[in-house]
Amino acid sequence: MIELEAVSVELGGRLVLRELSLRVAPGELLALVGPNGAGKSTALAAIAGALSTSGGEIRFHDRPLRAWDAEELARARAVMTQSEFLTFAFLVRDVVAMGRHPHPPSDADEETVDAAAREARVSHLLDRRYTALSGGERQRVRFARVLTQLGGVEQGALLLDEPTASLDPAEQHACMAAARRQARAGRAVVVVLHDLGLAARYADRMAVLDDGRLLGEGTPREVVGQGILDEAFDVQVRLVPHEGPHPTVLVEPRAAGEDSGRA
Amino acid sequence: MRARRPWLLALGIVLGLTLVTALGVGPRSISPAQLMRVIGVELGLQPPESVSRVDRVVITQLRAPRAILGALVGAVLAVAGASLQGLFRNPLADPGLIGVTTGAAAAAATGIVFAGLIPFGAQLGPYLVPVFAFVGALLTTLTVAAIARQDGHTRTATLLLAGIALAALAGALIGLLVYLSDDQQLRDLQFWMMGSLGGAEWRSLAIVGPILLLLCILLSRGGADLNCILLGEREAQYLGVDVERLKRRMIWCIAAGVGAAVSLAGSIGFVGLVVPHLLRLSLGPDHRLLLPASALLGGTLLLVADLAARTWAAPSELPIGIMTSLVGGPFLLWLVVRDRSRGVIGD
């Protein structure tokens, strides 16, 4: 369980998160959406314990986040960031296995690595050099690494910052489906997303941020129905009626004027 | 996950063989059989009259301390280089880069030129210059680390820039001291700037040796944490690594190790750069293996360089720093040229 109570974060003298309150229950996938600079990544970093807050409190498993020791926290929550630093030519298998760092070594580690690699669809890359992979492949390897970190963890938290950013459409769906399976296995999953279609299809709930504030939250149908996304992004978001179980959305520019098509 | 033990065992055996070779080779050649007898006598297994007195003195008083010092200095320099490269996520980092080596050499040079003016200088006697070198290394590191520290966080890029600036300053100081020195001081300075294992003797080794060994072991054990740092500092934090503590601990271990090495052997370049590279080419970048392997190979290579330095122009002796730079410079060039097409060093 992740709980944020009126959390504010100041970065470089600017308030980038203003009194954000959120709850993510085990078994739930929450999508954090909002325009560029809305504070999504900051919110995720705060939940991950990487930022000091200037107000409010974050609790993880009913304990204040700052009461957690770094290693203990690393055994219960994994974070996939957008950054990419690795320039040494590690084998992909070794990169994925680094997810086991906070855990005591075990005979099951190899199996955990293999299972995470299957889930992130990188099994075929395990014996290649990380530095020789494409951007999308590296991103999937990083996803496998965070899954490895939560391997064998009962009720962990999985925090993903734009995990689908450089993936092709099939891989985007595979990644989100895997994130959803993680939630169904009892984890609290928070995903920062730009693709509203993916968010609406895979999230149990969506939280919409704008200018560091929570504009609204609810199920995808509620968020779309109440026009919260329209307000945040200055676009028109509509639900497309269809037979399937998941909501599908259509995103159009607000002014259906001169650039909307050739007519 | 791949086997690390066989590699370390093999490198350990090579280091052991090189040590024995270093004891046997020199202006006075001593055969392996004679060498074994001398070791037997020293361990009390054989009567003293079974070996020549000269052989015994040459081995125990000249070559043994020199070989042990060489192995330890090479090991510390190499593992310090490998650690710094990991910490900076830059394969071209070297203890010289954060100013430690030059700072130590500048302090040693100050000790040589102003020995007469320094209070307690006479009491320290032959230890004056080594103590100065060690303190110089620590002071340089303290300054660089203080400049790089902001809001409880050590900024790696600033650390590097401050190190380069201080190294330039220390280099200028050395130049000034060379200008001020008399002939005898100039010879001492030269020894310090080019490095030599020639000053090795048991008394100083008894103090510095254990320090070097301890720092080698401490640095060799940080591999798993360093691997995580390579993913990015925040990523390492998310994996449970206390990045700030690790950085501080490593920088001080490196400063103390390099300071201790320079204090007895002068400034010896390229070992910290070349050894980890050589190993990365064959063993890959996993620091759990790279760090201890660097220590073992660093010790071996410095012993080989010393063997070459004292046999090439025998009976006179070349400064060992010249040997390492003579081999290290072209090797680095070769790496750079080769890397243009292969990308082993990185992007």
Instruction: Label each residue of B82-137 as H, E or C.
Output: HHHHHHCCCCCCCCCCCCHHHHHHHHHHHHHHCHHHCCCHHHHHHHHHHHHHHHHH
Whether residue B235 lies within 8 A of chain A, CB to CB, comes out as yes
Average pLDDT, chain B: 86
Task: Judge residue A218's burial from the number of C-beta atoms within 10 Å of its C-beta, 0-12 exposed, 13-18 middle, 19 or more buried.
Answer: middle
Radius of gyration of chain B (CA): 21
Look at A81 and B280 and tell me if their CB atoms are within 8 Å.
Answer: no
Q: Are strands A235-239 and A2-11 parallel, antiparallel or unpaired?
A: unpaired
* Cα angle: B161, vertex B266, B197; to 5 degrees: 145
- Do B320 and B305 contact (CB within 8 A), yes or no? yes
- The CA distance from B149 to B153, in Å, is 6
What pLDDT is stored for residue B31 in this prediction? 83
Q: Which residues of chain B are within 8 Å of residue A72 when distances are taken between CB atoms?
A: 240
Provide the strand spans (E) within chain B. Answer: 149-150, 153-154
* pLDDT tens per residue, range B170-195: 999 999 998 988 888 888 888 778 88
Q: Which residues of chain A have pLDDT under 50?
A: 262-263
Between A123 and B118, the higher pLDDT residue = A123
- Do B125 and B111 contact (CB within 8 A), yes or no? no
Between B324 and B339, the higher pLDDT residue = B324
Look at A70 and B286 and tell me if their CB atoms are within 8 Å.
Answer: no
Phi, psi of A205 (to 5 degrees): -140, 155
Distance of CA A5 to the CA centre of its chain: 20
User: Where does the pLDDT of residue B347 fall: very low under 50, low under 70, confident under 90, or very high at 90 and above?
Assistant: very low
- The CA distance from B248 to B288, in Å, is 19
Whether residue B48 lies within 8 A of chain A, CB to CB, comes out as no
Q: Which residues of chain A are within 8 Å of residue B347 when distances are taken between CB atoms?
A: 87, 131
Whether residue A44 lies within 8 A of chain B, CB to CB, comes out as no
Quick check: B118 pLDDT over 80? no
- The CA distance from A182 to A186, in Å, is 7
Average pLDDT, chain A: 91
Look at B230 and A86 and tell me if their CB atoms are within 8 Å.
Answer: yes
Of the candidates B89, B91, B240, the beta carbon closest to that of A74 is on: B240
Whether residue B176 lies within 8 A of chain A, CB to CB, comes out as no
Look at B1 and A99 and tell me if their CB atoms are within 8 Å.
Answer: no
Of the candidates A86, A89, A109, the beta carbon closest to that of B344 is on: A89
The token pair that represents B168 in the structure block? 């330039």
Task: Give the pLDDT mean for B307-335.
Answer: 83
- Do A195 and A33 contact (CB within 8 A), yes or no? no
Q: How many C-beta neighbours within 10 Å does residue A85 have?
A: 15
The token pair that represents B346 in the structure block? 């990185």
Between B177 and B26, the higher pLDDT residue = B177
The token pair that represents B244 in the structure block? 């700030």
Whether residue A134 lies within 8 A of chain B, CB to CB, comes out as no
Look at B230 and A88 and tell me if their CB atoms are within 8 Å.
Answer: yes
The token pair that represents B11 in the structure block? 């490198």
Task: Give the pLDDT mean for B85-97.
Answer: 80
**What ipTM, to 2 d.p.?**
0.91
For the CA atoms of B16, B19, B20, B25, what is the dihedral angle to 10 degrees?
A: 150
Look at A95 and B241 and tell me if their CB atoms are within 8 Å.
Answer: no
User: Where does the pLDDT of residue B1 fall: very low under 50, low under 70, confident under 90, or very high at 90 and above?
Assistant: very low
What pLDDT is stored for residue B341 in this prediction? 63
- The CA distance from B181 to B189, in Å, is 9
What pLDDT is stored for residue A177 in this prediction? 96
Look at A85 and B343 and tell me if their CB atoms are within 8 Å.
Answer: no
- Percentage of chain B beyond pLDDT 70 is 95
DSSP letter for A129, please.
B
What pLDDT is stored for residue A263 in this prediction? 44
Whether residue B89 lies within 8 A of chain A, CB to CB, comes out as yes
Find the residue in B nearest to A86 (Cα).
Answer: B231
User: Where does the pLDDT of residue B346 fall: very low under 50, low under 70, confident under 90, or very high at 90 and above?
Assistant: very low
Whether residue A74 lies within 8 A of chain B, CB to CB, comes out as yes
DSSP letter for B26, please.
S
Of the candidates B227, B286, B343, the beta carbon closest to that of A131 is on: B343
* Cα angle: B23, vertex B220, B2; to 5 degrees: 105
